[in-house]
């Protein structure tokens, strides 16, 4: 087998393995809440929840789902709060809350099972 045939095989092998390498690095690049477990952030998130979320989500779900039982990833939570959910009553809070405030809210929700 010539050098060019070996090179072609190597390139094909690399192309076949590329999706596997890309998928594994996605887990490492996942967006995570930088405030998880921080008492000051959790306290701030508690206040945000009381002022912005409680009216719909209550302590364990109401008009909106129980956020304390959410299965959303950190990134999904950030996107949902920022952009809202089309077809539901969930408004976009991206212009009302900063990204840090959304993360603080998330840290509070993850720290307990109720408001």
Residue 105's pLDDT is 98
Rounded CA separation 93/52 (Å): 9
Residues 25 and 45 in one domain: no
Residues 72 and 23 in one domain: no
Number of domains making up the chain: 2
Residues 20 and 53 in one domain: no
Rounded CA separation 103/77 (Å): 9
Parent domain of 82: 39-111
pLDDT digits (tens, 9 = 90+) for 30-40: 899 999 999 99
Residues 18 and 71 in one domain: no
pTM equals 0.75
Residues 92 and 45 in one domain: yes
| Burial (0-12, 13-18, 19+ Cβ within 10 Å), 103 | buried
Residues 22 and 47 in one domain: no
pLDDT digits (tens, 9 = 90+) for 42-78: 999 999 999 999 999 999 999 999 999 999 999 999 9
């Amino acid at each position: 087998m010539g050098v060019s045939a070996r090179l072609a095989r190597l390139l094909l092998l690399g192309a076949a393995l590329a999706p596997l390498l890309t998928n594994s690095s996605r887990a490492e690049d996942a967006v995570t809440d930088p405030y998880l477990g921080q008492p000051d952030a959790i306290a701030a998130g508690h206040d945000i929840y009381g002022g912005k979320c409680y009216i719909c989500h209550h302590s364990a779900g109401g008009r909106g789902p129980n956020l304390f039982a959410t299965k959303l990833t950190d990134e999904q939570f950030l996107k949902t709060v920022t952009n809202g959910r089309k077809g539901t009553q969930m408004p976009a809070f991206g212009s009302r809350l900063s990204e840090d405030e959304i993360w603080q809210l998330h840290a509070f929700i993850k720290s307990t099972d109720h408001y």
